[in-house]
Structure 1
Amino acid sequence: MQPTKPHAALLASPGMGHLIPVLELGNRLVSNYGFNVTIFVLQADDSTAQSQFLKSLHPTLLNIVSLPSVDISSLVAPDAQVAAKVAVMMRESLPALRSTINSMNFRPTALIVDLFGTEALAIANEYDMLKYVLIASNAWFLAATIFFPTLNRKEEDEIIKQKQALKIPGCKPVRFDDTLEAFLDRKNQGYDEYVRVGLEIPMADGILVNTWEDLEPTTLKALRDSKLLGRVTRVPVYPIGPLTRSVKPQVLGNQLMDWLNMQPLQSVIYISFGSGGTLSANQTTELAWGLELSKQRFIWVVRPPMDDDVSGAFFDVGNGHDGTPTYLPDGFVSRTKNVGRLVPMWAPQAEILSHSSIGGFLSHCGWNSTLESIVNGVPMIAWPLFSEQHMNATMLTEELGVVVRSEELPSKRILGREEIGKMVRKIMVYKEGHGIRNRVKELKYSASKALSIGDSSFNSLSQVANDVNSGLQFLKSMPQGA
């Protein structure tokens, strides 16, 4: 059966950083272009932040379909990187995706997959759908992801063994310390999966990126130039960002938000390491002391420390602990009870960052968190942990100037309490923080402008919508049963 209006199917990988942009894209396709939208989400455990978040969405204009959870325990090594685990999970979910699409009353006109769903592009081909890849991160990350797989062995060795920068045609080089860890260990399963993804992305009909023209003009130009990176990209690149979650009106009776309402303007720093980031026990202790030494109000999304895995909570974001965390310094909670709030495991981040009392964000620099901070005009302290977060932190520091950063990477050593306290005061109190705050407000305006009718991101998504609609009209022109 043929659809009566454009119908897009979106496939989201596990993790809030993937899920939120996919959902927001779906919302825009429904609200702005009248699409029918089905979003396929790989089912997660009921105790995870992802499940809590999905439950909070109903009622919704989107048709959200949960794909059954998959067991990958026999398919990945215990020490496999997060990227490898997510990629394998997505691969194992393909039969369920194909079966679900096959059982629909009419097939979608287009399939949009995120980074780790590129193997599903083959299913789009089976059903004659247009196919797109949504990069939930920025254009610089896209450039690195699709360019690295084109290197020969000698060029790879220069990066991996000699620790040289990844030089991308027409783009800022990625220095060794910022290089995606998946590219640095050929023996790790993550290497093979990421290389495959990088090769498959250009097989789509177009690439949607969660950025905007004025934020990354040089990189976007290189991605489109056939003499530069465009020879690798080969398909249109559509910057459609920022894709960030819309904030609902505050619900009365929420203790955290009620506390925020009582704090002075821009007086609270928010601390969160994303849905999966973890710190070591020693680093958690130093962060607690640093916050106390800063003498600033704070909200800290705190989770149990892990000494050997900075992404340890990615697949295990539970409902949190009961009572006072035992891993914080003795007396910390009682000494800071009048100026701080601890939130176990997960918090309504978009609502917090949009509050007028928030004056700074100590962040892991995941791209979703970065954009939520920018669209709310909140300056950041960069504390990258894994994946492309190091690239993001470098961009935010050296190109955009909207963060304070430690002298040495947190991955290289334990950041001490004095340095942490100084960074917090720098962003919240010192004159340097005022300049950063002004710059992030400029980016806030730039982001809002890009989404305005007739501006860059609005026009990019409109072009995609027009192409999908043209595909629908082509289907309607075909004889029934063709």
Structure 2
Amino acid sequence: METKTHIALVTVPVYSHLRSILEFTKTLVNLNQNIHVTCINPTFGSSICNNVKTLFETLPSNINYMFLPPINLQDLPQDIHPALKVQATIYRSIPSIDDALNTLDSSSKLVAVVSDGLITQVLQLAKKLNILAYSYFPSTTMLLSLCLHSSNLDKTISSEYKDLLEPLEIPGCIPIHSTDLPDPMQDRSGEAYKVFLEGNDRFYLADGILVNSFLALEEMTIKALQQKECEGIPSIYPIGPFVQNVSCDKGSNFEYLKFLDKQEKKSILYVSFGSGGTLSNEQIIELAFGLELSGQIFFWVLRPPNKFGVIDDLDISEYEDDILFQYLPNGFLERTKGKGLVVPYWAPQVEILGHSSIGGFLCHCGWNSTLESIIHGIPLIAWPLFAEQKMNAALLSDGLKVAIRPKVNEKGIVEREEIVKVVKNLMVGEEGKGIRERMEKLKGDAIDALKENGSSTRTLTQLAFKWESLGSHLGTYNDSRLGL
């Protein structure tokens, strides 16, 4: 029988969130071998998709996991927005999560529960069990500051945020234009805004919030929140950046590797909108013409248009190449042959960004993709789509100045002429040189944060030691007692 400190981790069924929180978990148990983690995973649908299975099958032995019974969503509209599907799954999973936590705590005393920032209801469950409760926040400290101050903003601002004439002031952050606020804040009468506020209020139940960021990236915001801990703000732990080190195998990658290897260093613009982002058909056509007219070499991960601008990233279905390529302009593939590569649906992004031929990244500004670009020193074209991505884009372009942000027309479309302009500016222009230098500096800072005595490693090591010390007084961990 082995003495271990037992931590429960609660995830959400969003692939990008799963990737992030599992990278944190692997780092945690690597830093402290006396910590054992059990992951509790809400699910929807009849089966666990392959990309999720792969994430869990590669976990080390001191991380156990369980998938909760799938949530039945058949009463919801068939074409429901993926975000609402996730939200419904979260709410309906709370009783099962409560049961799982009670079982784990009774069989092997839990020291702490760490839950994804989208499922703050778990903080309440942990408090009922008198267990330390932490939230893992997979986005920016800037967004976290907004979340922690959203109730105060709600009380002090009477109008719709989108009608504000002046940028919004958030403690420790650059001023944010109302149009760049997260989606739920664009309609204060909507259900999404109510859910947003309720979830943010529950953050105050946390004993601490673990943020996938690092001190040199958001120092002003991190310190501003840490200074407010005496006012009731939970302890803030910047412990990132967490990015995947190894890409999942999706079959033969010879075509893209040959293409990358043929190109000069930093000559290719990589174009991808994350695990769930999609463009309208009109925008796909404008982007295609913009890339072609720019004359720059490109590598484009293409997905079909979708009315929501986002696909269900846990249920990715495959499209035949010829069906997917019909959304491109006539003759585009022939005209750009040798100058560009269009890959249907998916590509191993971490591996691609690490290739010496990549010189820029046209990115949706999801935080995983952003951190992956930072850790590889790749400058950005910031093209946000949904959720908090516009806020991330503002941080990258206006705050950190490591991105160029294209202008959209009155219909919300980035026109081909604008695409040509920003692509050339980033890849061969003077503006791009300055951005590249600043991104190289951030790359060094990110690497330093993760070194043995780096700021993020120190922070997580100290937290892990705190948990281990508490665990040594609670009893003995034994795998067989969990029935896992």
How has the CA–CA distance of structure 1 residues 156 and 432 changed in structure 2, closer, same or farther, with 3 Å as cutoff?
same
- After superposition, the Cα gap between the structure-2 partners of 1:305 and 1:224, relative to the gap in structure 1 and judged at 3 Å, is same
- Report 1:365-384 matches (<5 A): 365-384=365-384
The answer as to whether partners of 2:300 and 2:341 remain within 8 angstroms in 1 is yes
Residue 59 (structure 2) aligns with:
60
Please give the alpha-carbon distance, in whole angstroms, between the structure 1 residues aligned to 2:29 and 2:203. Answer: 25
Q: Which amino acid in structure 1 is aligned with residue 405 of structure 2? A: R
Amino acid at match of 1:405: R
Partner of 1:86: helix, strand, or coil?
helix
Alignment partner, residue 404 of structure 2:
404
**Which letter maps to 2:138?**
A
**SS in structure 1 opposite 2:37?**
strand
| 1:15 Cα deviation after fit | 2.0
Deviations 1:262-294 (A, max 9, x none): 322222211111122121111110101111112
Match of 1:442 in 2: 441
AA of the residue aligned to 2:330: D
The SS at the match of 1:207 is strand
The 3-state SS of whatever aligns with 1:97 is helix
Aligned length: 469
SS at match of 1:413: coil
Cα 1:257–1:64, aligned 2, differ >3 Å: closer, same or farther? farther
Q: What's 2:72 paired with?
A: 71
For residues 205 and 409 of structure 1, what CA distance do their matches in structure 2 show? Answer: 42
**Cα gap change, 1:125 to 1:157, in 2 (>3 Å):** same
Q: 1:423 to 1:171 in 2, by over 3 A?
A: closer
Give the 3 Å change call, closer, same or farther, for CA 265–252 of structure 1 in structure 2.
farther
8 Å contact kept, 1:15–1:275: no
CA deviation after TM superposition for structure 1 residue 131, in Å: 1.3
> Where does residue 270 of structure 2 map in the other structure?
270
Q: Secondary structure at the match of 1:109?
A: strand
The structure showing larger relative contact order (alpha-carbon pairs under 8 Å, at least 6 residues apart) is 2
The 1:293–1:439 alpha-carbon spacing in structure 2 relative to 1, beyond 3 Å, is same
Residues 1:153 and 1:31: Cα distance change in structure 2 (over 3 Å): closer
* Residue equivalent to 1:387: 387
1:341 Cα deviation (Å)? 2.2
User: What aligned pairs does 1:216-255 form with structure 2 within 5 A after superposition?
Assistant: 216-226=218-228, 230=229, 234-247=233-246, 254-255=253-254
> How do 1:157-176 and structure 2 match up within 5 A?
157=159, 159-162=161-164, 164-176=166-178
Question: 1:112: which partner in 2?
Answer: 114
Distance in 2, matches of 1:380 and 1:448, equals 19
Return the alpha-carbon distance in structure 1 between the equivalents of residues 416 and 162 of structure 2. Answer: 33
- TM-score, structure 2 length as denominator? 0.89
- State the AA in 2 paired with 1:474: H
Does the residue aligned with 1:65 lie in a helix, a strand or coil?
A: strand
Q: State the alpha-carbon separation in 1 of the partners of residues 179 and 159 from structure 2.
A: 15
Paired with 1:47 and 1:102, the residues of 2 have a C-alpha distance of 25
Query: What TM-score, normalized by structure 1, do the two folds share?
Result: 0.89
Are residues 56 and 464 of structure 1, via their aligned partners in 2, closer, same or farther at CA, if it must alter by over 3 Å?
A: closer
CA deviation string 1:148-168 (max 9, x = no partner): 122354514263544543322
In the TM superposition, residue 8 of structure 1 has moved relative to its aligned partner by 1.9
Larger deviation: 214-223 or 157-166?
157-166
Tell me which residue corresponds to 1:480: none
Query: Does the CA contact (< 8 Å) of 1:272 and 1:301 recur in 2?
Result: yes
Moved more, 4-13 or 95-104: 95-104
**Does 2:187 match 1:185?**
yes
Gaps (5+ residues) in structure 2?
477-484
Distance in 1, matches of 2:258 and 2:232, equals 48
Percent identity over the alignment? 38
2:144 counterpart residue number? 142
Q: Is residue 21 of structure 2 the alignment partner of residue 22 of structure 1? A: yes
The CA deviation at 1:390 is: 0.8
Q: Report Cα offsets for 1:328-372 as digits up to 9, x if no partner.
A: 111112222323222222221111111112111100001111000
CA contact (8 A) 1:352 1:358 kept: yes
Q: Aligned Cα RMSD in Å? A: 2.8
2:3–2:472 CA contact under 8 A, matched in 1? no
One-letter amino acid of the structure 2 residue matched with residue 377 of structure 1: G
Task: Report how far residue 237 of structure 1 moved.
Answer: 0.4
Alignment of structure 1 residues 190-205 onto 2, 5 Å: 190-205=192-207
Deviates more, 1:177-186 or 1:372-381: 177-186
Distance 1:249 1:388 in 2: 26
Q: Deviations over 1:168-205 (max 9, x none)?
A: 23432322111112023233221111101110112111
Q: Relative to structure 2, which stretch is displaced further, 18-27 or 69-78?
A: 69-78
Q: What does residue 321 of structure 1 align with? A: 320
Q: CA deviation at 1:10?
A: 1.6
The alignment status of 1:341 with 2:332, answered yes or no, reads: no
SS in 2 for 1:309: coil
CA separation of 1:252 and 1:51: change in aligned 2, threshold 3 A: closer
What is the letter of the counterpart of residue 71 of structure 1? N
User: Cα distance 1:77–1:235, how it changes in 2: closer, same or farther (>3 A)?
Assistant: farther
- Do the aligned partners of residues 158 and 248 (structure 1) sit closer, same or farther apart at CA in structure 2, a change above 3 Å counting? closer
- 1:281 counterpart = 2:281: yes
User: Which digits, 9 at most, give the CA deviation of each residue in 1:50-79, with x for residues without a partner?
Assistant: 742532653420323222332346478977
Query: Corresponding residue for 2:473?
Result: 474
Amino acid in the other structure paired with 1:447:
A
**Alpha-carbon spacing, 1:476–1:76, altered in 2? closer, same or farther (3 Å):** farther
Query: 2: distance between equivalents of 1:264 and 1:359?
Result: 10
